[in-house]
Structure formats: structure tokens, C-alpha cells
Structure 1
Amino acid sequence: MIEAVLEKIDNMLKRANFETFILDSFSNKKTKFCFDLLVKKNDLVFSVKIFSNIDNLNADIINDIKSLSLLLKSKPLLIGIKNRYH
């Protein structure tokens, strides 16, 4: 499910002339990363994370995302496929 959404987002951003890098594309094994996709266009950099259920976010995950975003000088973009109501 996440892979299909990630592919759609990647294609959409590429059509808008963003450079994209999917973080698990270089590995055959299933590796967990803090972000799923890094996106750049000019001086804009986004770190994209997709959650199958956005309600799974907790303080530790949010703090990790904030820390890495500061380090990369990027803006975090969190996408939830569903929540507890859907």
C-alpha cells in the first residue's frame, strides 16, 4: 500500500520538475528509514514520510523527524493514507 502511494507521489513530483530520491531504491532488503523520499527543487528540500495509519505517530517519531529535518535543512512532509476514522 505504501509503495503504491510513494510511487504516485514520486511520479507527480517528477512531473513538476522536482528531483526525487526514494530511500529504499538502492537496497534489495527491506530497510526502515526515517523518511521514504527526499525531494529537491532549487533551494526547496522536502523530506517525505508516508504512514499507512497517521494515528501511529508518536512523540519519538516526531522528534526524530524534526531532528533529521534540521540536519538536512529540509521541510518534513508527513502523509497519512488513513486514520482511525477511515
Structure 2
Amino acid sequence: MSIFEIIMLICFGAAWPFSIYKSYSSRSIEGKSFLFLVVVMIGYGSGILHKIFYNYDNVIYLYILNLVMVGIDLLLYIRNRRMNLRDQG
């Protein structure tokens, strides 16, 4: 288990609750990128697979937590996009 990996995941993960709150409360997709969120999810998914197949330790739970938070933000992006399209049309 690497302390540097833990710090990295905590630092990256600290931003997601704020992003989720902004997405939920603003009901806007402004400043968000679907592709970016998907790429980040792929990155966390790859980290989880690496932990499962090569180096299993408790850090996997930080990867899972971050993946879940990005997934929530992605779902909010989809919701907000639908709401914006409905409001425009």
C-alpha cells in the first residue's frame, strides 16, 4: 500500500462532492464534459482492475468511492442535459 497513492486518491476524490453538489443544485451542464467524466471513470476502473489482478490492498476502496462519485456526477450530467433540452424545445 502506497501512501502516495492514498494521498492522490484522497486529493482527487475531495473535488467530487463539490462537483456533484454543483451539478445537482445548478441543474446545468455548463462547465461539464461528458467525455471527461467517462475518461475519469475509465481511469478509476483501470485502477480497480489493477488492484484486483496485481496488487490487492485496501486502497481499492478509495478507487471504488471515487468511481461511484464520478458515476453520480455523470448521471447528474445526463439528467441536466435532458432538462436543458426539454426547456429549450
TM-score higher than 0.5 here? Answer: no
TM-score by length of 1: 0.31
Query: Which protein has the bigger helix share?
Result: 2
Larger Rg: 2
Query: Which protein has the bigger strand share?
Result: 1
Q: Per chain length, whose mean CA-contact separation is higher, i.e. which structure has more relative contact order (CA < 8 Å, sep 6+)? A: 2
